[in-house]
Structures are given as structure tokens and as C-alpha cells.
């Protein structure tokens, strides 16, 4: 029996509800594939602020570093929104990504045939969409210096953030993206704003040079404003997208709606060594927290990505994904993916249906 140490970070809002579903499924899948999971729970985000004063307590980071993989739900909520920036729940998540050096965030957005009618876009636009967004995660404007709110001599306040990328940062995320494209349909679109930003000119230049090492991958470039438009106009033109931290954050939420709901989108955050972090693309959904309305499928699919990319247990990952397809085939839907003739269920009932689907 293979044993894996998994750190669980339930976080805030709907986090505890959706991670409970994923943990039950992992236990069952573990039995079926002869894997033993040692789960350790730790505090992150608002929950950590309330208990310790810090959004990323030192023991949480230590525990994560010493595990084989980290499964995160989501962090954040209204009650922490007025804290100074460096004490907010979001800082905990950013500190965790930086602390584990998780520079590559893979955000697959593909439409499941069962959900074509749950998308807000027309069937012919979304049917068959299969996109991989590769988002740089530890650089760019999220981390650049200087940053802060400064008061000038006249007393006026200035808010400052800085978008910075070094060549080596662009090169390492570029390599991840070219490799990902190579395993897919061999098309890579690099998204930037090089008509305005120097940082994007360096980005485009570096990605273009890298292409020489990947002659089998067709590279194109697109400005980010056009990319946002093209994602809605004709998403099937995209295979793999590589972009910086901020643009990737925005475009991956847009890509989520192609698949019916942000409640469907998983992600994997990976470094060059050490444990990966697996988390839904969505947030803590404070508007529906505690009401048993959350869609747990993005969390379950994130656990499947953990099995596949984090623990190299692709068969167990496949089984989890098959269970998701099966409950959708059976017609179970949470509110965010509900459509005519389907059975509306809550988070818990969806979890039970998934467990049953794993049985056979």
C-alpha cells in the first residue's frame, strides 16, 4: 500500500462544505486503488486570521512543505475585507503559493457534454471547448515591488503596484506551457499586452525565442483584450493559453463560464519540485456559504488533478472523474449548473451521489 500525506486547507465560506465531499471520495478511491491517505488539516485565510491573527500561520506552511500534496478549498469573506492588505485572507493564499514556489497554475476549461445547456453561451459556440490556461502564479503585478499606498507631500494618496517579469520567470512558465501544448493539440497562444507594456514586450520576445525548442508546437500571440473577446466569440480556436498572473486570473474566470459554471473548474499549482497545491478556480462564495448550495465538483476535480499530477496516480484520478461524469449523466445538478428536466441537489446530496457512483 502506498501512503500519501495530504494537507487539507478547508479555508472559508463554502470551503469546509466542498472539501468534505472530496475527502470522503478520496477515502473511498483510496480503498479501491490500495492507496492510504494521511490527512492533516491546517488553517489558512480568514479561519487562520480568527484563530491565530495570521492568514498563513508558520505551522501551516511547514505542514504543507512536508506533505506529498496540498488540497485547498477556498479562502476569503466579507468580514475580512476591511483588514489592511497584508493581513487579508488572500495574502495567506499568495504567501502559500510563493512559499511553495508554485509558479505554474494549470486551469483546464473543457465543457462536459452533459453541461452544454448549462452554459450561458450557445450550444454551437461551447460544444467541444477544451482549453488549458497556463497561468504564471508567483510573479507579475501580484508580487512586484514597489507596492503600497503612499501619501505624497501634498497629502494626496497614491496606490502603487508594479508589473515585473524577468526573462527566467517567463522562460520557466513558457516551458511548462509548451510541454502542456505538446501533450494536447500542439497549439499555444501567448496572451500579453505588448502593444502597451514593456513587461509584455519582454514576455513576447522570450516566448518567441523559446519556440525554437518546440518546433512541433504552433505558437501564436494575442493581446489580452482581444483574447477576452475571442474566448466568448469563438473559444474553440484555443488549445493551450499561456499568460501572466493577472491576465490569467481574469481569463480563467471567463473561460469558466464556457463550461457552464465556475463551480466546475479545478486547478493545479505546481513548482519545479516539492508538493503541488490543488484548488478550485472559484472563491469562497460567501453569498451561498452554509446553505448546502455549493457545487463541489470543482473541488472533486481538483482532487482528481491531485491524484494525476501531484501523486502520479492517474487511474485513481480517472475513477474520480468518471464518478463526476456519471452523476451528471444521472441528472444530478447543483443550482449553478441546473437546467430543465434535471434533478436539483445540494452539496451534500451531490456528495452522496458521487460516493454511490464510485461504488460501481
74 forms part of the interface with ligand NAD (CB under 6 A): yes
285's contact among ligand IPM, ligand NAD, Mn ion, none, with CB below 5 to 8 A by partner kind, is: ligand NAD
Q: Which of 165, 249, 309, 332 is catalytic?
A: 249
Q: Is 27 a catalytic residue?
A: no
> What's the 3-state SS for the chain?
CEEEEEEEEEECCCHHHHHHHHHHHHHHHHHHHCEEEEEEECCCCHHHHHHHCCCCCHHHHHHHHCCCEEEEEECCCHHHCCCCHHHCHHHHHHHHHHHCCCCEEEEEEECCHHHHHHCCCCHHHHCCCEEEEEEECCCHHHCCCCCEEEECCCCCEEEECCCCCCHHHHHHHHHHHHHHHHCCCCEEEEEECCCCCHHHHHHHHHHHHHHHHCCCCEEEEEEHHHHHHHHHHCHHHCCEEEECHHHHHHHHHHHHHHCCCHHHCCCEEECCCCCEEECCCCCCCCCCCCCCCCCCHHHHHHHHHHHHHHCCCHHHHHHHHHHHHHHHHCCEECHHHCCCCCEECCHHHHHHHHHHHHHC
Q: Is 193 a catalytic residue?
A: yes
Is 80 annotated to bind a ligand? Reply is yes
| Residue with nearest beta carbon to Mn ion | 249
Distance of closest approach, residue 35 Cβ to ligand NAD, in angstroms: 26
**Contact string 322-341 vs ligand NAD (x = CB under 6 A):** --------------x-----
Is 139 annotated to bind a ligand? Reply is no
Distance of closest approach, residue 267 Cβ to ligand NAD, in angstroms: 8
Question: 172 or 282: whose CB is closer to ligand IPM?
Answer: 282
Question: 105 or 206: whose CB is closer to Mn ion?
Answer: 105
Residues 251-270 contacting ligand NAD, CB under 6 A: 262-263
249 forms part of the interface with Mn ion (CB under 5 A): yes
Is 53 annotated to bind a ligand? Reply is no
**Contact string 114-153 vs ligand NAD (x = CB under 6 A):** ----------------------------------------
66, 5 in Cβ contact below 8 A? yes
Q: Which of 68, 193, 309, 336 is catalytic?
A: 193
Interface residue with ligand NAD among 193, 295, 300, 319 (CB under 6 A) is 295
Distance of closest approach, residue 247 Cβ to ligand IPM, in angstroms: 11
Question: 13 or 351: whose CB is closer to Mn ion?
Answer: 13
Q: Tell me which residues touch ligand IPM (CB under 6 A).
A: 76, 90, 93-94, 249, 281, 283
Which residues are near Mn ion by CB under 5 A?
A: 249
Amino acid at each position: 500500500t502506498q501512503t500519501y500525506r495530504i494537507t487539507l486547507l478547508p479555508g472559508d465560506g463554502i470551503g469546509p462544505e466542498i472539501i468534505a465531499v472530496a475527502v470522503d471520495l478520496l477515502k473511498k478511491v483510496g480503498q479501491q486503488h490500495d492507496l492510504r491517505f494521511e490527512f492533516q488539516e491546517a488553517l489558512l485565510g480568514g479561519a487562520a486570521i480568527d484563530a491565530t491573527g495570521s492568514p498563513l500561520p508558520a505551522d501551516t506552511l511547514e505542514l504543507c512543505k512536508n506533505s506529498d500534496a496540498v488540497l485547498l478549498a477556498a479562502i476569503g469573506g466579507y468580514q475580512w475585507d476591511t483588514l489592511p492588505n497584508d493581513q487579508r485572507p488572500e495574502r495567506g493564499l499568495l504567501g502559500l503559493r510563493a512559499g511553495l514556489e508554485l509558479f505554474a497554475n494549470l486551469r483546464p476549461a473543457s465543457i462536459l457534454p452533459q453541461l452544454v445547456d448549462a452554459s450561458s453561451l450557445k450550444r454551437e459556440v461551447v460544444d467541444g471547448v477544451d482549453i488549458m490556461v497556463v497561468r504564471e502564479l508567483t510573479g507579475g503585478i501580484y508580487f512586484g515591488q514597489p507596492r503600497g499606498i503612499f501619501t505624497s507631500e501634498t497629502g494626496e494618496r497614491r496606490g502603487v503596484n508594479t508589473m515585473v517579469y524577468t526573462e527566467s520567470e517567463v522562460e520557466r512558465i513558457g516551458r511548462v506551457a509548451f510541454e502542456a501544448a505538446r501533450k494536447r493539440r500542439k497549439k499555444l497562444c501567448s496572451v500579453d499586452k505588448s502593444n502597451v507594456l514593456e513587461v509584455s514586450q519582454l514576455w513576447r520576445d522570450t516566448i518567441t525565442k523559446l519556440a525554437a525548442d518546440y518546433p512541433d508546437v504552433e505558437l501564436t500571440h494575442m493581446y489580452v483584450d482581444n483574447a477576452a473577446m475571442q474566448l466568448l466569440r469563438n473559444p474553440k480556436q484555443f488549445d493551450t493559453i499561456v499568460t501572466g498572473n493577472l491576465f490569467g486570473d481574469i481569463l480563467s474566470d471567463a473561460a469558466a463560464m464556457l463550461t457552464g459554471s465556475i463551480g466546475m473548474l479545478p486547478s493545479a499549482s505546481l513548482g519545479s519540485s516539492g508538493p503541488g497545491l490543488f484548488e478550485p478556480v472559484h472563491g469562497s462564495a460567501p453569498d451561498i456559504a452554509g446553505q448546502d448550495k455549493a457545487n463541489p465538483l470543482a473541488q472533486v476535480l481538483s482532487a482528481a488533478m491531485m491524484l494525476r499530477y501531484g501523486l502520479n496516480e492517474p487511474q485513481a484520478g480517472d475513477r474520480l472523474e468518471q464518478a463526476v461524469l456519471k452523476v451528471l449523466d444521472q441528472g444530478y445538478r447543483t443550482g449553478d449548473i441546473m437546467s430543465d428536466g434535471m434533478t436539483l441537489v445540494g452539496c451534500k446530496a451531490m456528495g452522496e451521489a458521487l460516493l454511490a457512483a464510485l461504488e460501481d
